[in-house]
A = this chain, B = another copy of it.
């Protein structure tokens, strides 16, 4: 494979060369499918994630969905209700595609459908199990450092505060196309490298957190014309990588991972620390975990959680 000077892989993969081995997950609500397989004549496995795009409002006109090109096929009509399938011009009907290649076991686990549980992580459990586990299992953070050092994705950066202590880079999340207001999703990655997650935060970080909130809101208002009162600004616990980052999504957008068991609003985080400096060192933090995750095994082995039996009875039986 070819690599450019930043270590970025430039060779073009083609979907026609993809050989499916297994569908890991098919979310029929969000219309996302995750496929595991390999590319012809390439070693190692690959993940292909396909996601139907949300509708863009500017395509709902006589040049887009309401044009001559939109073929309508009738399923049925009953009184004032009619059901059809429409085949629009393919240029407005793209499918968001993510390819991870080569993919590791951990990527495969991340994208597989699993039984999910909640664990209540006390500060003691964090110290004893989570912390030592994540030190061992940490994903490679090279892609984060590439962004912070200006080696990758520089054309995507929306805002950059270069202060080593309170600075951060704001850029569109991988899940966002960077254009559609309805699905607005940006990520602020802080420049400090030693903050792993929510658990590490205390009053020393308040200036940083407030800067991310206030400057992030302003940059998004300036560039995308979305006011701060319509932004959901939050941290995940557990995060998917242990370098502090803050999510910005449009409030109307039901982005993945915004549920109460996973997301902590930045304003609530700031308020908690202002009320109690060591709130995040003292609090019991719930987090969700899938049975396939290696951290699940740690908590299971120590008796904190039980795996669902394959033959569990359903309600209706």
Contacts and interface: CB of A to CB of B under 8 A. Distances in A.
Interface of A: 7-10, 12-16, 18-20, 23, 26-33, 35, 50, 52-55, 57-58, 60-62, 65-68, 70, 72-91, 93-103, 113, 115-120, 142-143, 146, 152-153, 156, 174, 177, 179-184, 224-225, 227, 229-232, 234, 251-255, 258-265, 267-268, 271-272, 275-276, 279, 282-286, 288, 305-306, 308, 312-316
16 contacts: A15-B67, A18-B66, A28-B55, A28-B182, A30-B31, A57-B314, A65-B95, A81-B174, A82-B101, A83-B96, A120-B267, A258-B260, A259-B259, A259-B260, A267-B284, A267-B286
A15 B254 contact: no
Contacts of A262: 260
B254 A232 contact: no
Most chain B beta carbons < 10 A, residue from A62, A82, A85:
A82
B275 A260 contact: no
Nearest to A91: B87
Contact of A81 (B83, B98, B282, B312): B98
Task: Report the 3 A-B pairs with minimum CB-CB distance, sorted nearest first.
Answer: A29-B254, A260-B263, A28-B54
Contacts of A264: 260
Contacts of A91: 87
Contacts of A146: 78-79
Contacts of A79: 7-9, 142-143, 146, 152
B8 A78 contact: yes
B259 A263 contact: yes
Most chain B beta carbons < 10 A, residue from A101, A152, A234, A260:
A260
A23 B85 contact: no
B14 A26 contact: no
A179 B75 CA distance: 12
B85 A95 contact: yes
Contacts of A29: 29-30, 54, 253-255
A4 B58 CA distance: 37
B230 A115 contact: yes
Contact of A252 (B70, B72, B116, B224): B116
Given A80-B9, A87-B94, A146-B79, A31 B33 contact: no
Nearest to A89: B90
A113 B76 CA distance: 27
